[in-house]
Amino acid sequence: MLRRHFLLSGLALVAPRTSFSANARIDILPDEPIGVISPHIYGHFTEHIGGVIYDGVWVGESSKIPNVGGIRKALIDHLKQIKAPVIRWPGGCFADSYNWRDGVGPRSQRPRRTNFWANDPYLWKAPDGPQKYEPNEFGTNEFARFCKLAGAEPYFAANLRSLEAFDFSEWVEYCNSPAGTTSMAGLRAQGGSPDPFPVRFWGVGNESWGCGGNFTGDEYAVEFRRYTEWVPRYGLNLNFIASGPNVADYAWTRSFFEKLIEKGKGALRHVFGTALHYYCGGPASGSSTQFAPDAWYRLLHDAARMEELVNNHWQIMGEIDTQHHVKLVVDEWGAWHDTDPSIAPSYLFGYYPGLRDALVSGITLDIFNRHADKVAMANDAQLINNINALFVAVEDRFTVTPIFHVFDMYAPHQGGTSVRTVISAPALTQAAAHGLPALSGSCSVQGSHVVLTIVNPDIQNAQETEINVRNRRITSARATVLTSSDIHAHNTLDSPNALEPKEDNSIKAGSPLNYSFAPASVTRLDLMLA
């Protein structure tokens, strides 16, 4: 998308002033499609880490907490509400020390193992619970059931560092071989699932440049070729996802693709996507709920860096994969802050995300929408009780976070056609914002329904904006806004409704549409066109 940044005086050159004193302008160009927004861009990630699986997802069948076969009911209900399309599991770094066989068969007989994260100093303060010593109560059948209940597709991350290619193909056989055909199908049936799940998305390792084996890009390419050369298909179109770069490690992307095609470009046909990981903030970035205005702007500027990462990795991929057969899968993203000491230490990397993180999520999802031709899937890290979480749950208490509200507000983009949208807005002048534009967003169209989502990062100033849809008339308009006068606003277990989106009834349809985007806000406009 082209983005033009104007000083206030410069804007007058392109936007004639009306009685509404617009200092920004949005031009939606419905006849310039970018691509269909894959619903999988709105995906999630659940790892056996901290309170994600044990207590977050899995409470156990005998729990007093409302559950469906051991899975937290409130979570299932909310995932259905936001049309959760896909969930990644079991890691993360955990994936490359996980033997899937530990998590199948009778639950009472499953082994107890040391969790990948047990060495983290923060967990030393925690009791010897499932976060340190994995009980394997939640395994393949439980995860597949969770996905089915939530209406999402499963995306498995296979162990490349410490299991063999054979184990990978046998996991595929366990999940996908038809009822009654193989011993693995028999084992699956003993766990209550005679029919295949089935699983289409398979990650081949995780962060193979680090915890997933400490490979170089070309070493990993050889492993990837070996693991994916033969895998049983059962008529399914299996989508293999290669472990991709860490942030701006362009050398990884280049070396992986160069080595992958060393024996011919046919190897590209084995790759559905390459997985980019990018967390803004990062561990030790400070508290999610107590920070100075500078830290607000710094984080939002960092979040916007996702666009440069998508563009740059895509360009390198295209030098080798000239037809762009392979897509980007951003299977870990989010804002990462310090663990909240008011939450028990076993909930490693748990904290309450706030309004600032909601804006990070809006900025990021808008980038994915704008690059619908490049990004095939993305997975927010992580679903519950961890990092960029949509939910916090401790025993029988549960709250949605502002990130959940953003996913809810953005759900209508799923399956829409992303169209080019020119946002002309001044650049922020705060030093920590590093020229971040005063408005950013994305737009999708389904028939005569237009969904426009916009983030205004300015803490103080609303952005009065003139909105035009080229060659079309806007006949009705609705606005949903997530904002607060307090930039630290967030929900807690004691105060789960502190921050919620509201309908803005002041909006009046018109062509152009004049709308004032509130300070520190994420807004969705639903427009109907004649």
**What residue ranges bind ligand AHR (CB under 6 A)?**
47, 91-93, 206-207, 332, 381-382, 387
Smallest distance, ligand AHR to C-beta of residue 329, A: 13
Q: Which is nearer to ligand AHR, 321 or 332 (CB)?
A: 332
Smallest distance, ligand AHR to C-beta of residue 207, A: 5
Measured in whole angstroms, the distance separating CA 258 from the mean position of its chain's CA atoms is 28
Q: Which residue has the tokens 């069948």?
A: 61
Q: Which is nearer to ligand AHR, 158 or 527 (CB)?
A: 158
- Which stretches within 152-267 are classed as H helix? 165-176, 183-190, 217-229, 250-260
* Residues in contact with 372: Cβ distance below 8 Å, sequence separation at least 6, in sequence order: 34, 35, 36, 37, 38, 41, 417, 418
Tokens for 283, please give them: 């561990």
Smallest distance, ligand AHR to C-beta of residue 223, A: 17
Q: Which is nearer to ligand AHR, 42 or 517 (CB)?
A: 42
Is 509:311 a contact under the CB 8 Å cutoff? no
* Residues in contact with 297: Cβ distance below 8 Å, sequence separation at least 6, in sequence order: 428, 430, 432, 433, 434, 436, 457
Is 340:352 a contact under the CB 8 Å cutoff? yes
Q: Which is nearer to ligand AHR, 57 or 93 (CB)?
A: 93
Distance between CA 365 and CA 335 in Å, rounded? 13
Instruction: Tell me which of 142, 153, 207, 223 is the catalytic residue.
Output: 207
How far is residue 40 from each of residues 143, 204, 524, measured CA to CA in Å? Answer: 18, 18, 20
Q: Which is nearer to ligand AHR, 137 or 331 (CB)?
A: 331
Smallest distance, ligand AHR to C-beta of residue 335, A: 12
**What is the number of the residue whose Cβ is closest to ligand AHR?**
92
Distance between CA 76 and CA 12 in Å, rounded? 50
Q: Which is nearer to ligand AHR, 352 or 515 (CB)?
A: 352
Active site residue 207: yes
Smallest distance, ligand AHR to C-beta of residue 142, A: 20
Smallest distance, ligand AHR to C-beta of residue 42, A: 18
Q: In 37-76, which ranges are E strands?
A: 43-45, 67-68, 71-72
Active site residue 262: no
State whether residue 312 is helix, strand or coil.
helix
The catalytic site residues sit at: 207, 332
